[in-house]
Structure 1
Amino acid sequence: MKILIAGSTGNTGLRLTRQLMEAGHEPIAMHRASSDISKLPDGVATREADLTQLDDDICAGVDAVVFAAGSGGDTSEEMTDKVDRDGAIALIDHAKAANVQRFVMLSSIGADAPDPDSDLFHYLKAKHDADEHLQASGLEYSIVRPVALTDDDGDRDVKLGDDVDPEGTAARGDVAAVLARAVSDDALRNKAYRMESVG
Structure 2
Amino acid sequence: MTTLVVGAHGKIGQRLCERAVSEGLSVRALVRNEEQQNELARTGVETVIGDLEGDLAHAFEGCDEVVFTAGSGPHTGADKTLMIDLNGAWRCVEYAEALNMKRFIMVSTLHREPLDGPDALVPYLAAKRAADYRVTASTVPHVLVRPGRLTDDRGTGHYSIAVTEENGGRTSRDNVAEAIVHLLGTPVTDALDLPLLDGDTPWSELEKSLSHG
Q: Show the counterpart of 2:142.
A: 141
1:100 corresponds to which letter in structure 2?
A: M
Mean alpha-carbon deviation: is it higher for 128-137 or for 36-45?
36-45
Q: Show the counterpart of 1:86.
A: 87
Whether the aligned pair in 2 keeps the contact of 1:9 and 1:35 (CA below 8 Å) is no
Whether the aligned pair in 2 keeps the contact of 1:12 and 1:68 (CA below 8 Å) is yes
Whether the aligned pair in 1 keeps the contact of 2:21 and 2:43 (CA below 8 Å) is no
Gaps of 5+ in 2: 201-213
1:164 aligns with 2:201: no
1:118 corresponds to which letter in structure 2?
A: P
Whether the aligned pair in 2 keeps the contact of 1:32 and 1:48 (CA below 8 Å) is yes
Q: CA deviation at 1:116?
A: 5.5
Q: TM-score under structure 1 normalisation?
A: 0.90
> How many residues get paired?
196
Mean alpha-carbon deviation: is it higher for 188-197 or for 96-105?
188-197
Instruction: Specify the structure having the higher radius of gyration (Cα).
Output: 2
SS of residue in 1 equivalent to 2:155: coil
More helix by share: 2
CA distances 1:148-179 after superposition (whole Å, capped 9, x unpaired): 1111231110113xx33484211111000122
The 3 A distance-change label for structure 1 pair 26 and 76 is same
State how 1:47-126 maps to structure 2 within 5 Å.
Answer: 47-110=48-111, 112-115=112-115, 118-119=118-119, 120-126=121-127
The 2-side partners of 1:102 and 1:54 are apart by 22
Q: Show the counterpart of 1:173.
A: 174
Q: How many percent of aligned residue pairs carry the same amino acid?
A: 31
The 3 A distance-change label for structure 1 pair 153 and 63 is farther
The 2-side partners of 1:187 and 1:62 are apart by 15
1:147 corresponds to which letter in structure 2?
A: G
Q: TM-score under structure 2 normalisation?
A: 0.85
Q: CA deviation at 1:189?
A: 4.7
Gaps of 5+ in 1: none
SS of residue in 2 equivalent to 1:195: strand
2:6 corresponds to which letter in structure 1?
A: A
**Relative CO higher for 1 or 2, CA cutoff 8 Å, sep ≥ 6?**
1
Whether the aligned pair in 1 keeps the contact of 2:37 and 2:49 (CA below 8 Å) is no
1:20 aligns with 2:17: no
